[in-house]
Chains A and B, each alone.
Chain A
Amino acid sequence: MDTSGGGGHKKGPGVKKAKKLSTRVDLTPMVDLGFLLITFFIFTTTMSQPTAMKLFLPKDTDKPDEQNKLKESAALTVMPAKNNQVYYYEGLDPTKIQSSNFKAIRDVILDKKRRTDAKDFMVIIKCTQDATYKNTVDILDEMKIDDIHRFALVDITPDEYKIVQLTEAANGIK
């Protein structure tokens, strides 16, 4: 009895052998894509949140007993001006002006700080009209860096501005 029906197949005639498909998918391209996206997001994300710098303004007052007393010997006036220059003078005489820049002003401030009594020492910041906002923040930052607690942001007087301008002209800064 021939039940096999001819041929080498074990199955019946006309029955094709079903190809066994693997259920495994090659995931390599998917992994590639995944990591590509991760790198993209990491690079485009700005991790740092902006920080803020606190500034406390003194209250304007006309009463002399409410005003801060300032010792002449303990005062240092710094005046940021154009081209990232800083002019400074010690005491209260603007004619003793000296020029400096943002790199060198730290030593000036620290030197003055060392020479004066800590509780009297005060830095007066007078920004000229030509100073940028960056200069203003930089000099306030400098106060923080140098650990100076007494400083004031004061408007520049026209006389001082004139002196700054004259010094600028003498130094050839346009």
Chain B
Amino acid sequence: MIPPAIGDQRAGEVMPLSSGRPRHAWRAWLLTETPGSRAQARLGQAYVAWLGFRRNPLAMAGLTILVVLVLVAVLAPVLTHQSPVSQELGRRLQPPSAAYWFGTDELGRDIYTRILYGSRITLLIVGLVVVSVAPVGLLIGTVAGYMGGAVDVVLMRMTDVFLAFPRLILALAFVSALGPGIENAVIAIACTAWPPYARVARAETLTIRNSDFIAAVRLQGAGPLRIVLGHVVPLCTSSLIVRVGYDMAGIILTAAGLGFLGLGAQPPSPEWGAMISSGRKFLLDQWWVATIPGAAILVVSLGFNLLGDGIRDVLDPKQG
């Protein structure tokens, strides 16, 4: 993870690029070759990772987009004084103007306001899915990888089955049974999103399982639960984070797709996918109703993707 060791192993001297600055003391502490504690080593690694990340303009753009998204979601009532749900038919289908920055929709609601409040729904869905899916996938993957044998076969078979469906279609099937609504949408997406995490966790576990330090811990008397939870799981987290970075855009797009079909958050909720769907009828003449929410989805997905790429470049540069 950290760039190759400085100094003795390689031929020749290494000359550091930066000269002494006021923050030199902090940098030196973080970048030292001989950390005094585990915490210092971890912080040092995180710092180096951050430096690498910062150097990547696209990744920083992604991070910016996401920070803006979170701020918008939190500060929505501050950024706009209109209501996202109250209808005012007198001003329906107004084009973008100074009064209504993104125009109004077919029920007279200000689209700008709806976009702002819609960001909350987006974050909610993504957050809920990730929070439920990552631990489940991690658990299944590490248990399968560590226990091996029949347990592994059964769990992986299950994972394969879920991977055999295209995500959206399986989510559709779930929603058809559960009924529309935002909670059901989250459940449906979660049910389809966990397999990749299980796969990644299992692959990592298999690599780690036979290493010496695991054998050492086992010799010290640790039971399988402690080994898996205490040692294997922490090592899987970085790959999992990379995977999460990849996936989040996909989750947003799936959620938007469900919304477009009317299966996600129900009206009058300002969910972006649903907004596109209701704007579809007016596409030809009042293009802004359907187009602008889509642009929002695009920007947010792009942000997640850039961030995911950036994280991956830092944590696993071989793929770059």
Do A and B actually bind?
no
Q: Which residues of B contact A (CB under 8 A)?
A: none
